[in-house]
Amino acid sequence: MYRIFVRDLVLFVEVGVYESEKNRQQRIRLNIELDCEDTIAAAQDRIRGVVCYFSVVERIRAMLAEGHINLIET
């Protein structure tokens, strides 16, 4: 298993449970650790078949763009 990190990803999202937090975006900073299964591609230093940082960040952006989130822990 190997670990990848996304550090200091700053995004603006709609988050919060109070009325004053709804319908407005707030700045958040994310630090993410992902444990990934070892692959032959990683062992052989090949890009195809390993986790792509760009794809990870794009998926995070897509999830947060789906709409308001009450709890940041979600």
Segments forming the whole domain that contains residue 31: 2-65
Q: For residue 42, what is the domain's CATH number?
A: 3.30.1130.10
Q: Which two tokens stand for residue 5?
A: 């990190």
Looking at this protein, which amino acid is placed at residue 48?
A: R
| pLDDT band, very low/low/confident/very high, at 41 (cuts 50, 70, 90) | low
Give domain status of residue 72, yes or no: no
Q: For residue 3, what are the contacts with CB-CB under 8 A and spacing of at least 6?
A: 33, 34, 35, 36
Q: Mean pLDDT over residues 24-44, rounded?
A: 87
Q: How many domains does the chain have?
A: 1
Q: Assess if residue 73 is contained within a domain.
A: no
- pTM, two decimals, is 0.77
Residue 30 lies in a domain: yes
In a domain, 71, yes or no: no
